[in-house]
Amino acid sequence: MYLLVNKGQLMAISLAASISLLQGESYANEVEVSGKISVEQRYFFEKPLQSSQLTYGQTSLALEPEFYWQWNDANDSLTFKPFYRLDSQDNQRNHGDIRELAYVHTSDEWELRLGIRKEFWGVTEFQHLVDVINQTDGAEDFDGEDKLGQQMINLSLVNDWGIVDIFLLPGFRERTFSGEDGRLRIPFIVDEHNVNYESSAGQQHLDVAFRWVHSKGDFDLGAYWFHGTNRDPILTSSKSSAVNKNQLGLENTVKLQQYYNQMDQLGVEVLATLGDWLWKFESIYRNTKLEGFWATQAGFEYSFIGVFSSDLDFGLIMEHGWDSRGEVTLAEVGSPLQNDIFIGARLEFNDLQSSNTLMGIGSDLDHNAFTLIIEASSRIGDDFIASFDLRLLQSNEENDLLYNLSHDDHLQLSLVWYF
């Protein structure tokens, strides 16, 4: 067990704390407490690929309270959102993070945000290509949706021609991974103590990003430039352990070392709202010492409102992912989504319980790899949400990243209490 706090975060904490002290006694504002506690049960249908991995069941409990203060007519605020998960099987999933600890000052034409925050960019559903600020909390889940808090100084300027955001990102967060006991991971263990950086500043490299977003009529547009540490690590077997390297799939103790290079990335996002259609486009160009490549994720969402003269809303989503590097093997650096198609169907029941379901299929058009997810959730009483997630992962290609997860089909049930 460990709590992920580094120097940069400590700086952010003390900065935020001193600002909150500055607010003085004259504003004795009450703290607003809310949050959620969730219980989650995973059930895997098959025996694992590696014998060290857990067999069938995995239970976990997660806490995420939120403390919020505001003063000066809500023009100043402080948010603190810690997170902790306890897992019955995977030691690496016993982990905590400060999702948010940020001071925000708002003025008419600008906003200053200091501290640890989460910033999401993008318009597509099945892959978040342009989303680059926060590191992935990979121990949480394999889908990359969960993010670690990122320390930042963010100045946001509001203009008639759009909002410009300037980000200074001191302190880099290393990705988290499932542990040896965990499922939904590559066959080798990622060594969290063997991490190297291209930059001599290592984890202390100051990353920067400039972003512009604007809504004009039916179009939402965004573009940015990011310069700094690549959030995606290059994983290689470490020299010392390479000697004992066994064949893939066999028992092994080879650990992977992480290498984070420097990158420049340009990103654009376009969303066109044309009647029943939402057209979505995301693209990046990433340049590192190793390579330069393009990737896009594009598609549409079509909504049927009130199908069969009922309250049901039905949404059809189709997206395609492309990467200029093409097909890659496990040993190469690349993207598993080089020519992949995604089809999703969303159903909103518009009932008292806000029930909804989402079904998604992802398929690699270059070789045989396939994923199917079915998600359903509904409110119970006033403060609980129950959800059901089924994930089926299939691949016949041993070189495919998904192959390593092909024994990890599972059902996940969760109950979340909001307070």
Partner 1 sequence: MIFKKHLIALVSLVSLSLITCEVYALSTAEQTGLDISIESKKRDIGWQDSTADMLMLLRNREGQESVREMKIKSLEVQDDGDKSLTIFNKPRDVKGTAFLSFSHPVAADDQWLFLPALKRVKRISSRNKSGPFMGSEFAFEDLSSFEVEKYTYKYLVDERINQLDNYKLEQYPVDENSGYTRRVVWLDKAEYRVQKIDFYDRKNALLKTLTFRNYQQYLGKHWRAANQAMINHQTGKSTELVWSNYVFKTGLKDSDFNRNSLKRAR
Q: List interacting residues with partner 1 (CB under 8 A).
A: 32, 34, 36, 68, 70, 74, 77, 104, 106, 108-109, 111, 118-120, 122-123, 145, 156, 158, 163, 213, 215, 217-218, 220, 271, 273, 275-278, 301, 303, 305-306, 311, 313, 350-354, 379, 382-383, 385, 416, 418-419
Q: For residue 255, which phi and psi values (nearest 5 degrees)?
A: -110, 150
The beta strand positions in 217-261, using DSSP E, are 219-229, 234-237, 255-260
Q: Based on CB atoms, which residue is closest to partner 1, 109 or 289?
A: 109
Give 137's DSSP letter: B
Shortest Cβ 18–partner 1 spacing (Å):
21
SS3 181: coil
Shortest Cβ 313–partner 1 spacing (Å):
6
Shortest Cβ 25–partner 1 spacing (Å):
23
Shortest Cβ 82–partner 1 spacing (Å):
15
In the block, tokens 């995606």 appear at 232
Q: Based on CB atoms, which residue is closest to partner 1, 77 or 283?
A: 77
Contact 373, 388 (CB under 8 A): no
Cα 30 from chain centre = 32
Q: Based on CB atoms, which residue is closest to partner 1, 259 or 281?
A: 281
CA atoms within 13 A on the CB side of 10: 6
Contact 270, 298 (CB under 8 A): no
Q: For residue 26, which phi and psi values (nearest 5 degrees)?
A: -60, -25
Gap between the Cα atoms of 307 and 300, Å rounded: 19
Residues 6+ apart with CB under 8 A from 30: none
Contact 96, 3 (CB under 8 A): yes
Gap between the Cα atoms of 309 and 415, Å rounded: 32
Q: Based on CB atoms, which residue is closest to partner 1, 70 or 258?
A: 70
Shortest Cβ 397–partner 1 spacing (Å):
32
Contact 288, 334 (CB under 8 A): no
Shortest Cβ 414–partner 1 spacing (Å):
13
Contact 290, 261 (CB under 8 A): yes
Q: Based on CB atoms, which residue is closest to partner 1, 165 or 400?
A: 165
Q: Based on CB atoms, which residue is closest to partner 1, 239 or 381?
A: 381
Q: Based on CB atoms, which residue is closest to partner 1, 165 or 364?
A: 165
Q: Based on CB atoms, which residue is closest to partner 1, 70 or 136?
A: 70
Shortest Cβ 404–partner 1 spacing (Å):
27
Residues 6+ apart with CB under 8 A from 100: 66, 79, 80, 81, 115, 116, 117, 118, 149
Shortest Cβ 35–partner 1 spacing (Å):
9
